[in-house]
Amino acid sequence: MSPSRFDDRITADPDSAWPVEAGRYRLVASRACPFASRAVVSRRLLGLEDAISLAVVDPIQDDRGWNFGLGPGGRDPVLGYRYLSEAYLAADADYDGGFSVPAMVDVATRRLVTNDFGVMTLDLATQWTALARPGAPDLYPEPLRAEIDELNEVVFRDVNAGVYEAGMATTQEAYSRAYDALFARLDALEERLRTRRYLVGDTITEADIRLFTSLVRFDAVYHGHFRCNRSKLTEMPALWAYARDLFQTPGFGDTVDFDHIKRHYHLVLDEGNPHHIVPGGPDLSGWLTPHGREALGGRPFGDGTPPGPPPGAEAVPPRGRAA
């Protein structure tokens, strides 16, 4: 994945260029994108819905990139834009790169502040605490940060980015290298999760969010469409149970839209799919089956509490849910 071009940070320092402020920023995200979905999950777990508004883009991009076609009249009702690219160009009129999500946009100026997905969720967990809900979990606990960072680095390289390297490879050598690294890492994670409920410590952390958003897409798109087909997620017992555990935890599965995921990957990232066929499977009902991970102990939210239901306007439509 390419580095983020816009990497300003929104911080708790009131004198910073972009200080934390309720209602000032709008998170633009795609429910199809695993990197944007990290920010959506973090925002839900921390209860920042009232502090940071959410714009969900259409999963189908055109030649101008992500668009607000789901909004009234095809525009975002807060920013007034038809395309996310407009916020990028408001920040830099000469910018000629990609227009990625997640993107944090300053509502007053309608300009992009940051698209740095690697830092954005860490800042949500550490800089926005004054505006988080009562009972919000600590997703990046200081004593565990070195271990979380180390694990995040290899999971990003081999899994989060690795599936794309395999799926978009143009040589057998590049594909094989990514494929081998992906499944070596998944095997290591499978072994790690046999005896522990969460990746680091005994509560949900940033590490779990980053792995989950790739796992939840694995059988639906990566296994077939990206040729990551040694094993399905459902064939890796510990990882499959772990993924179901998180999916059934408030703040995770209630942000997942399988309809957006499948349509985006098969209709936009469509090399090898010239007729634009969206497959009917896989069967999603397994996501709601018992996982048995409670036997490993752990406290999902530590000393905190689960988030409440998502705001009505942010609920995933029925066609996108596991049932």
Q: pLDDT by residue (tens digit) across 28-62?
A: 999 999 999 999 999 999 999 999 999 999 999 98
Q: Choosing from 25, 88, 95, 164, which is the catalytic residue?
A: 164
Q: Do 25-131 and 142-320 come out as alike in CATH topology? A: no
E strands, 35-185, are: 53-56, 103-106, 111-114
User: What pLDDT shows up at residue 134?
Assistant: 98
- CATH class of domain segment(s) 142-320: mainly alpha
In this predicted structure, the answer to whether residue 272 has a pLDDT above a threshold of 80 is no
User: What pLDDT shows up at residue 1?
Assistant: 56
**Annotated domain spans of the chain:** 25-131, 142-320
In percent, how much of the chain has pLDDT > 90? 95
pTM of the entire predicted model:
0.97
* CA distances (Å), origin 179, targets 143, 157, 228: 33, 12, 6
33 tagged catalytic:
yes
User: What pLDDT shows up at residue 3?
Assistant: 57
Hey, how many other C-beta atoms are within 10 angstroms of the C-beta on 263?
18
What pLDDT band is residue 64 in, cutting at 50, 70 and 90?
Answer: very high
Q: Choosing from 33, 83, 140, 198, which is the catalytic residue?
A: 33
User: What pLDDT shows up at residue 149?
Assistant: 98
* CA distances (Å), origin 4, targets 93, 103, 165: 17, 10, 18
Q: Which CATH superfamily is domain 25-131 in?
A: Glutaredoxin (3.40.30.10)
